[in-house]
């Protein structure tokens, strides 16, 4: 499951690299959905489906418990103004919901280029009792996650990028 795939280039690349795995992308913005639909057609991707809807509602009502091998949340809106932080996607209740949908051994991979959001993500993910960090803090970028257009731009400007990869605990 990929939540908030933007224009879809990363999602298409991951699906193309793993043709034997199935992927579901959830996005609310129409231009991104259209862009990824175009990529699916051009690349003849048969393992990628899309839903244009609110991710919280999709996960809550359309995804069965313990059914997901993995969840990707790459570069969600950072809502960088302090008064808007409550709008951030990675919050305790949503993380608990995502964890409940992970199959045994399933993972939750988040990435951000906003340091304070990375800190919040690490705190929220680390506080969920059903998840365990696969790294001692932030994880190196896994090889399956391509560098995005915006990430590349930020790296050239000297911005950092933080990946967090947590797995469902065996006893969860």
Q: In sequence order, which residues have a C-beta less than 8 Å from that of residue 75 and are 6 or more positions away?
A: 4, 6, 111, 112, 113, 148, 150, 151
Active site residue 77: yes
DSSP β-bridge partners for residue 111: 74, 163
| Backbone φ, ψ for residue 164 (5° rounding) | -130, 125
What is the Cα–Cα distance from 19 to 46, expressed in whole angstroms?
8
Query: How do 68-74 and 48-52 pair as beta strands?
Result: unpaired
Choose, from 77, 113, 123, 171, the residue flagged as catalytic. 77
Residues annotated as catalytic are 77
């Amino acid at each position: 499951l990929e939540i908030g795939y933007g224009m879809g280039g990363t999602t298409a690349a991951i699906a193309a690299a793993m043709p034997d795995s199935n992927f579901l992308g959830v996005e609310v913005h129409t231009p991104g959905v259209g862009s990824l639909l175009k990529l699916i057609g051009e690349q003849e991707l048969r393992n990628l489906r899309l839903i244009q809807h609110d991710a919280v509602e999709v996960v809550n009502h359309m995804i069965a418990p313990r059914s997901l091998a993995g969840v990707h949340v790459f570069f969600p809106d950072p809502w960088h103004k302090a008064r808007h932080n409550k709008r951030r996607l990675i919050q305790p209740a949503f993380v608990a919901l995502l964890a409940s949908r992970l199959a045994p051994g399933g993972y939750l991979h988040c990435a951000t280029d906003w340091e304070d959001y990375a800190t919040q993500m690490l705190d929220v993910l680390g506080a969920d009792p059903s998840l365990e960090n696969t790294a001692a803090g932030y994880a190196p970028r896994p090889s399956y996650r391509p560098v995005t257009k915006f990430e590349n731009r930020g790296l050239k400007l000297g911005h950092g990028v933080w990946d967090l990869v947590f797995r469902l605990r065996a006893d969860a």
